[in-house]
Amino acid sequence: MLKIAIVGTGNIANAHMEGWKELKDAKVIAACDVDLERAKKFAEQNSIPEAASDALELFKRKEIDAVDICTPNLQHYTLSLAAMKAGKHVLCEKPLAMNPAHIQEMIAASKKHKVKLTGISNQRFCAEAQAIKRFIDSGAAGKIYYAEARWLRRRHLPGWNSGFLLKKLGGGPCLDIGVHALDVAMFFMGNPRPVSVSGISGNFIAKKGALNLWGHYDKKIMDVEDFAGGFVRFDNGAALSLSCSFMANIKEKEENTIRLFGDKAGINYPSAEYFTEKAGSLIDGKMTHLKAQAGHSVEISKFADFITGKSKINPLPPEQSLNAIMVLDGIHRSQRSGREIRF
Protein backbone atom coordinates (compact mmCIF):
# COMPACT_ATOMS: atom_id res chain seq x y z
CA MET A 1 0.00 0.00 0.00
CA LEU A 2 1.44 3.31 -1.14
CA LYS A 3 1.33 5.90 1.67
CA ILE A 4 0.83 9.51 0.68
CA ALA A 5 0.94 12.87 2.46
CA ILE A 6 -0.91 15.80 0.89
CA VAL A 7 0.65 19.16 1.69
CA GLY A 8 -1.59 22.20 1.22
CA THR A 9 -5.27 21.40 1.74
CA GLY A 10 -6.90 24.30 -0.12
CA ASN A 11 -8.88 24.35 -3.32
CA ILE A 12 -6.93 22.07 -5.68
CA ALA A 13 -6.19 19.45 -3.00
CA ASN A 14 -9.82 18.32 -3.46
CA ALA A 15 -9.18 17.30 -7.09
CA HIS A 16 -6.05 15.42 -5.96
CA MET A 17 -7.96 13.69 -3.21
CA GLU A 18 -10.55 12.41 -5.70
CA GLY A 19 -7.69 10.86 -7.66
CA TRP A 20 -6.12 9.17 -4.63
CA LYS A 21 -9.50 7.82 -3.48
CA GLU A 22 -9.91 5.98 -6.78
CA LEU A 23 -6.74 3.93 -6.23
CA LYS A 24 -6.99 0.59 -4.40
CA ASP A 25 -3.28 0.34 -3.64
CA ALA A 26 -2.69 3.87 -2.30
CA LYS A 27 -3.83 5.68 0.80
CA VAL A 28 -3.49 9.28 1.92
CA ILE A 29 -2.32 8.93 5.51
CA ALA A 30 -1.68 12.60 6.36
CA ALA A 31 -3.07 15.99 5.41
CA CYS A 32 -0.83 18.96 6.14
CA ASP A 33 -1.53 22.68 6.02
CA VAL A 34 0.06 25.64 7.79
CA ASP A 35 -3.52 26.35 8.74
CA LEU A 36 -4.05 23.35 11.06
CA GLU A 37 -7.79 23.84 11.26
CA ARG A 38 -8.01 23.59 7.47
CA ALA A 39 -5.89 20.43 7.51
CA LYS A 40 -8.11 18.92 10.21
CA LYS A 41 -11.28 19.70 8.27
CA PHE A 42 -9.84 18.22 5.07
CA ALA A 43 -8.67 15.11 6.96
CA GLU A 44 -12.08 14.66 8.53
CA GLN A 45 -13.95 15.10 5.24
CA ASN A 46 -11.74 12.57 3.50
CA SER A 47 -11.22 10.03 6.31
CA ILE A 48 -7.49 10.76 6.50
CA PRO A 49 -6.14 9.54 9.86
CA GLU A 50 -3.78 12.43 10.56
CA ALA A 51 -3.73 16.22 10.23
CA ALA A 52 -0.51 18.20 10.63
CA SER A 53 0.77 21.75 10.20
CA ASP A 54 4.52 21.25 9.84
CA ALA A 55 5.46 19.67 6.52
CA LEU A 56 9.15 19.34 7.37
CA GLU A 57 8.33 17.31 10.50
CA LEU A 58 5.98 15.14 8.47
CA PHE A 59 8.68 14.40 5.88
CA LYS A 60 10.75 12.75 8.65
CA ARG A 61 8.19 9.96 8.88
CA LYS A 62 9.53 6.73 7.37
CA GLU A 63 6.19 5.22 6.36
CA ILE A 64 5.39 8.05 3.91
CA ASP A 65 6.36 7.03 0.36
CA ALA A 66 5.33 10.13 -1.56
CA VAL A 67 4.33 13.72 -0.99
CA ASP A 68 1.67 15.47 -3.05
CA ILE A 69 2.32 19.22 -2.97
CA CYS A 70 -0.75 21.44 -3.41
CA THR A 71 0.54 24.64 -1.80
CA PRO A 72 0.82 28.05 -3.50
CA ASN A 73 3.52 28.40 -6.17
CA LEU A 74 6.23 29.90 -3.97
CA GLN A 75 6.44 26.82 -1.73
CA HIS A 76 6.74 24.24 -4.55
CA TYR A 77 10.51 24.47 -4.76
CA THR A 78 11.38 24.47 -1.06
CA LEU A 79 8.87 21.78 -0.08
CA SER A 80 9.78 19.52 -3.03
CA LEU A 81 13.48 19.78 -2.21
CA ALA A 82 12.85 19.01 1.46
CA ALA A 83 10.62 16.04 0.63
CA MET A 84 13.12 14.60 -1.85
CA LYS A 85 15.97 15.08 0.63
CA ALA A 86 13.90 13.02 3.09
CA GLY A 87 13.65 10.25 0.46
CA LYS A 88 10.07 10.88 -0.68
CA HIS A 89 8.80 10.79 -4.24
CA VAL A 90 7.15 14.09 -5.16
CA LEU A 91 4.08 15.03 -7.17
CA CYS A 92 3.81 18.81 -7.35
CA GLU A 93 1.17 21.18 -8.67
CA LYS A 94 1.90 23.57 -11.50
CA PRO A 95 4.02 25.55 -11.99
CA LEU A 96 6.64 23.04 -10.82
CA ALA A 97 8.69 26.05 -9.67
CA MET A 98 8.76 29.73 -10.39
CA ASN A 99 12.01 29.85 -12.37
CA PRO A 100 14.19 27.51 -14.45
CA ALA A 101 17.12 27.49 -11.96
CA HIS A 102 14.88 26.09 -9.23
CA ILE A 103 13.59 23.32 -11.50
CA GLN A 104 17.15 22.41 -12.46
CA GLU A 105 17.97 22.09 -8.75
CA MET A 106 14.87 19.96 -8.20
CA ILE A 107 15.84 17.64 -11.07
CA ALA A 108 19.36 17.32 -9.61
CA ALA A 109 17.88 16.54 -6.18
CA SER A 110 15.62 13.81 -7.56
CA LYS A 111 18.67 12.17 -9.15
CA LYS A 112 20.83 12.62 -6.05
CA HIS A 113 18.26 11.18 -3.66
CA LYS A 114 17.04 8.53 -6.16
CA VAL A 115 13.41 9.58 -5.93
CA LYS A 116 10.91 10.46 -8.64
CA LEU A 117 9.66 13.96 -9.38
CA THR A 118 6.51 14.68 -11.39
CA GLY A 119 4.75 17.96 -12.14
CA ILE A 120 1.02 18.32 -12.67
CA SER A 121 -0.47 18.81 -16.10
CA ASN A 122 -4.06 17.72 -15.60
CA GLN A 123 -5.14 19.15 -18.96
CA ARG A 124 -2.89 16.70 -20.83
CA PHE A 125 -4.96 13.89 -19.35
CA CYS A 126 -8.46 15.07 -20.21
CA ALA A 127 -10.27 13.00 -22.83
CA GLU A 128 -10.01 15.62 -25.60
CA ALA A 129 -6.25 16.11 -25.17
CA GLN A 130 -5.65 12.37 -25.11
CA ALA A 131 -7.77 11.84 -28.25
CA ILE A 132 -5.92 14.62 -30.07
CA LYS A 133 -2.57 13.18 -29.01
CA ARG A 134 -3.55 9.73 -30.32
CA PHE A 135 -4.68 11.34 -33.60
CA ILE A 136 -1.31 13.10 -33.95
CA ASP A 137 0.72 10.04 -32.93
CA SER A 138 -1.11 7.96 -35.56
CA GLY A 139 0.35 10.30 -38.19
CA ALA A 140 -3.10 11.59 -39.21
CA ALA A 141 -2.12 15.25 -38.75
CA GLY A 142 1.34 14.89 -40.35
CA LYS A 143 4.03 17.20 -39.00
CA ILE A 144 2.79 19.88 -36.62
CA TYR A 145 4.76 22.90 -37.77
CA TYR A 146 2.94 25.62 -35.85
CA ALA A 147 0.63 26.06 -32.87
CA GLU A 148 -1.37 28.95 -31.47
CA ALA A 149 -1.94 28.54 -27.74
CA ARG A 150 -4.15 30.93 -25.80
CA TRP A 151 -5.51 31.22 -22.35
CA LEU A 152 -7.03 34.65 -22.33
CA ARG A 153 -9.38 36.09 -19.75
CA ARG A 154 -11.17 39.35 -20.37
CA ARG A 155 -11.64 40.49 -16.78
CA HIS A 156 -10.85 37.58 -14.46
CA LEU A 157 -8.02 38.58 -12.24
CA PRO A 158 -7.89 36.49 -9.05
CA GLY A 159 -8.59 39.45 -6.79
CA TRP A 160 -9.25 37.29 -3.74
CA ASN A 161 -5.69 35.97 -3.61
CA SER A 162 -2.89 38.52 -3.55
CA GLY A 163 -0.47 35.62 -4.13
CA PHE A 164 -1.36 35.79 -7.79
CA LEU A 165 -0.66 39.49 -7.95
CA LEU A 166 2.84 39.49 -6.53
CA LYS A 167 5.94 38.28 -8.34
CA LYS A 168 7.55 37.06 -5.16
CA LEU A 169 4.54 34.91 -4.24
CA GLY A 170 2.92 33.60 -7.34
CA GLY A 171 3.34 35.37 -10.65
CA GLY A 172 0.74 36.51 -13.16
CA PRO A 173 -1.10 34.76 -15.99
CA CYS A 174 2.15 33.31 -17.40
CA LEU A 175 2.75 31.07 -14.39
CA ASP A 176 -0.91 30.57 -13.57
CA ILE A 177 -2.67 29.75 -16.84
CA GLY A 178 -0.13 30.32 -19.64
CA VAL A 179 1.79 27.39 -18.21
CA HIS A 180 -1.19 25.07 -18.92
CA ALA A 181 -1.70 26.28 -22.51
CA LEU A 182 2.01 26.08 -23.29
CA ASP A 183 2.46 22.68 -21.69
CA VAL A 184 -0.46 21.11 -23.57
CA ALA A 185 0.60 22.68 -26.89
CA MET A 186 4.17 21.38 -26.50
CA PHE A 187 2.79 17.96 -25.53
CA PHE A 188 0.79 17.87 -28.79
CA MET A 189 3.89 18.92 -30.72
CA GLY A 190 5.92 16.02 -29.28
CA ASN A 191 7.79 18.06 -26.65
CA PRO A 192 10.38 19.64 -28.94
CA ARG A 193 13.16 21.63 -27.24
CA PRO A 194 12.59 25.41 -27.27
CA VAL A 195 15.56 27.26 -28.81
CA SER A 196 14.36 30.87 -28.61
CA VAL A 197 11.52 33.11 -27.51
CA SER A 198 10.59 36.69 -28.19
CA GLY A 199 7.76 38.18 -26.21
CA ILE A 200 6.05 40.99 -24.40
CA SER A 201 4.57 41.07 -20.94
CA GLY A 202 3.25 43.87 -18.80
CA ASN A 203 0.57 45.33 -16.62
CA PHE A 204 -1.34 47.20 -19.29
CA ILE A 205 -4.86 47.42 -17.90
CA ALA A 206 -4.98 46.25 -14.27
CA LYS A 207 -2.67 49.00 -13.00
CA LYS A 208 -5.31 51.55 -13.97
CA GLY A 209 -7.83 49.90 -11.66
CA ALA A 210 -10.04 48.11 -14.17
CA LEU A 211 -13.41 46.46 -13.82
CA ASN A 212 -12.80 42.93 -12.54
CA LEU A 213 -15.34 40.10 -12.51
CA TRP A 214 -13.39 38.21 -9.81
CA GLY A 215 -13.63 40.62 -6.93
CA HIS A 216 -11.74 43.60 -5.69
CA TYR A 217 -7.99 43.76 -6.20
CA ASP A 218 -5.41 46.21 -5.00
CA LYS A 219 -3.96 47.86 -8.09
CA LYS A 220 -1.17 49.39 -6.00
CA ILE A 221 0.35 46.10 -4.87
CA MET A 222 0.01 44.23 -8.15
CA ASP A 223 3.48 43.88 -9.66
CA VAL A 224 2.85 41.07 -12.14
CA GLU A 225 1.80 41.19 -15.78
CA ASP A 226 -1.87 41.17 -16.74
CA PHE A 227 -0.96 40.05 -20.28
CA ALA A 228 1.90 38.18 -21.92
CA GLY A 229 2.49 37.03 -25.46
CA GLY A 230 5.39 35.22 -27.04
CA PHE A 231 6.73 33.54 -30.15
CA VAL A 232 8.75 30.38 -29.55
CA ARG A 233 10.99 28.47 -31.96
CA PHE A 234 11.82 24.79 -31.42
CA ASP A 235 14.78 22.60 -32.35
CA ASN A 236 12.67 20.65 -34.88
CA GLY A 237 11.89 23.79 -36.91
CA ALA A 238 8.34 24.16 -35.53
CA ALA A 239 7.12 27.31 -33.79
CA LEU A 240 4.37 28.39 -31.43
CA SER A 241 2.65 31.57 -30.37
CA LEU A 242 1.33 31.93 -26.85
CA SER A 243 -0.89 34.56 -25.32
CA CYS A 244 -2.33 34.66 -21.83
CA SER A 245 -4.08 37.27 -19.74
CA PHE A 246 -5.93 37.97 -16.53
CA MET A 247 -7.30 41.09 -18.20
CA ALA A 248 -7.54 41.98 -21.89
CA ASN A 249 -9.99 43.88 -24.05
CA ILE A 250 -11.31 40.93 -26.03
CA LYS A 251 -14.80 39.78 -26.99
CA GLU A 252 -14.77 36.48 -25.12
CA LYS A 253 -15.11 36.17 -21.36
CA GLU A 254 -12.42 33.52 -21.58
CA GLU A 255 -10.62 31.66 -24.35
CA ASN A 256 -8.62 28.53 -23.53
CA THR A 257 -7.77 27.10 -26.93
CA ILE A 258 -4.98 25.61 -28.99
CA ARG A 259 -4.88 25.53 -32.80
CA LEU A 260 -2.47 23.03 -34.30
CA PHE A 261 -1.24 23.40 -37.86
CA GLY A 262 -0.27 19.98 -39.27
CA ASP A 263 0.76 19.37 -42.89
CA LYS A 264 -1.91 16.64 -43.20
CA ALA A 265 -4.56 18.05 -40.85
CA GLY A 266 -5.13 20.95 -38.51
CA ILE A 267 -6.70 20.35 -35.09
CA ASN A 268 -8.49 22.52 -32.55
CA TYR A 269 -8.29 21.88 -28.81
CA PRO A 270 -10.42 21.43 -26.75
CA SER A 271 -13.18 21.04 -29.35
CA ALA A 272 -11.25 18.09 -30.87
CA GLU A 273 -12.20 19.15 -34.41
CA TYR A 274 -9.88 18.51 -37.31
CA PHE A 275 -9.58 19.97 -40.79
CA THR A 276 -8.12 18.14 -43.76
CA GLU A 277 -8.72 17.20 -47.39
CA LYS A 278 -9.56 13.89 -49.00
CA ALA A 279 -10.48 12.75 -52.53
CA GLY A 280 -10.72 16.29 -53.85
CA SER A 281 -12.80 17.70 -50.98
CA LEU A 282 -12.08 19.64 -47.87
CA ILE A 283 -13.15 17.65 -44.82
CA ASP A 284 -14.06 18.91 -41.36
CA GLY A 285 -14.23 16.21 -38.69
CA LYS A 286 -14.55 15.83 -34.96
CA MET A 287 -13.43 13.26 -32.43
CA THR A 288 -16.65 12.23 -30.73
CA HIS A 289 -18.00 9.96 -27.99
CA LEU A 290 -15.04 10.74 -25.77
CA LYS A 291 -15.50 9.49 -22.24
CA ALA A 292 -15.05 12.40 -19.84
CA GLN A 293 -12.19 11.86 -17.42
CA ALA A 294 -10.77 14.02 -14.63
CA GLY A 295 -7.24 14.99 -15.65
CA HIS A 296 -5.94 15.06 -12.08
CA SER A 297 -7.26 11.56 -11.33
CA VAL A 298 -5.74 10.07 -14.49
CA GLU A 299 -2.39 11.69 -13.79
CA ILE A 300 -2.38 10.62 -10.13
CA SER A 301 -3.01 7.03 -11.16
CA LYS A 302 -0.11 7.23 -13.65
CA PHE A 303 2.12 8.80 -10.99
CA ALA A 304 1.30 5.93 -8.60
CA ASP A 305 2.20 3.38 -11.29
CA PHE A 306 5.42 5.26 -12.00
CA ILE A 307 6.68 5.39 -8.42
CA THR A 308 5.75 1.78 -7.70
CA GLY A 309 7.56 0.65 -10.86
CA LYS A 310 4.40 -0.64 -12.59
CA SER A 311 5.16 1.87 -15.34
CA LYS A 312 8.42 3.37 -16.51
CA ILE A 313 6.68 6.45 -17.87
CA ASN A 314 6.75 9.65 -15.86
CA PRO A 315 3.37 11.31 -16.65
CA LEU A 316 5.05 14.74 -16.61
CA PRO A 317 8.84 14.55 -16.58
CA PRO A 318 10.33 17.61 -14.81
CA GLU A 319 12.51 18.25 -17.88
CA GLN A 320 9.30 19.10 -19.78
CA SER A 321 8.19 21.46 -17.01
CA LEU A 322 11.65 23.04 -17.21
CA ASN A 323 11.14 23.73 -20.93
CA ALA A 324 7.80 25.42 -20.23
CA ILE A 325 9.15 27.59 -17.39
CA MET A 326 12.21 28.48 -19.50
CA VAL A 327 9.87 29.84 -22.19
CA LEU A 328 7.67 31.77 -19.71
CA ASP A 329 10.70 33.20 -17.95
CA GLY A 330 12.13 33.98 -21.41
CA ILE A 331 9.05 36.05 -22.28
CA HIS A 332 9.70 38.31 -19.28
CA ARG A 333 13.44 38.48 -20.07
CA SER A 334 12.62 39.36 -23.67
CA GLN A 335 10.29 42.13 -22.47
CA ARG A 336 13.04 43.55 -20.24
CA SER A 337 15.76 43.39 -22.88
CA GLY A 338 13.65 44.17 -25.94
CA ARG A 339 15.29 41.23 -27.76
CA GLU A 340 14.82 37.59 -28.60
CA ILE A 341 16.13 35.23 -25.93
CA ARG A 342 18.13 32.18 -27.09
CA PHE A 343 18.34 29.09 -24.89
Ligand X SMILES: NC(=O)c1ccc[n+]([C@@H]2O[C@H](COP(=O)([O-])OP(=O)(O)OC[C@H]3O[C@@H](n4cnc5c(N)ncnc54)[C@H](O)[C@@H]3O)[C@@H](O)[C@H]2O)c1
Tell me how far apart the alpha carbons of residues 237 and 314 are, in angstroms, rounded to a whole number: 26
The nearest distance, CB 48 to ligand X, in angstroms, is 14
* Cβ burial, residue 134 (10 Å; 0-12/13-18/19+): exposed
Tell me how far apart the alpha carbons of residues 282 and 169 are, in angstroms, rounded to a whole number: 49
Tell me how far apart the alpha carbons of residues 1 and 307 are, in angstroms, rounded to a whole number: 12
Task: For residue 106, give the H/E element and its range.
Answer: helix 100-112
Task: For ligand X, give the closer residue by CB, 73 or 297.
Answer: 73
The nearest distance, CB 258 to ligand X, in angstroms, is 16
Task: For residue 117, give the H/E element and its range.
Answer: strand 117-119
For 39, the 3-state DSSP assignment is: helix
Task: For ligand X, give the closer residue by CB, 93 or 128.
Answer: 93
Task: For ligand X, give the closer residue by CB, 32 or 131.
Answer: 32
Q: Which residue is nearest to ligand X (CB)?
A: 10
The nearest distance, CB 23 to ligand X, in angstroms, is 19
In the complex, the residues that contact ligand X under the rule CB under 6 A are: 7-12, 32-35, 38, 55, 70-73, 75, 93-94, 120, 122
Task: For ligand X, give the closer residue by CB, 198 or 245.
Answer: 245
The nearest distance, CB 180 to ligand X, in angstroms, is 7
Name every residue whose Cβ is closer than 8 Å to that of residue 120 and which is 6 or more positions away in sequence.
91, 92, 93, 94, 296, 299, 316
Task: For ligand X, give the closer residue by CB, 53 or 268.
Answer: 53
The nearest distance, CB 281 to ligand X, in angstroms, is 39
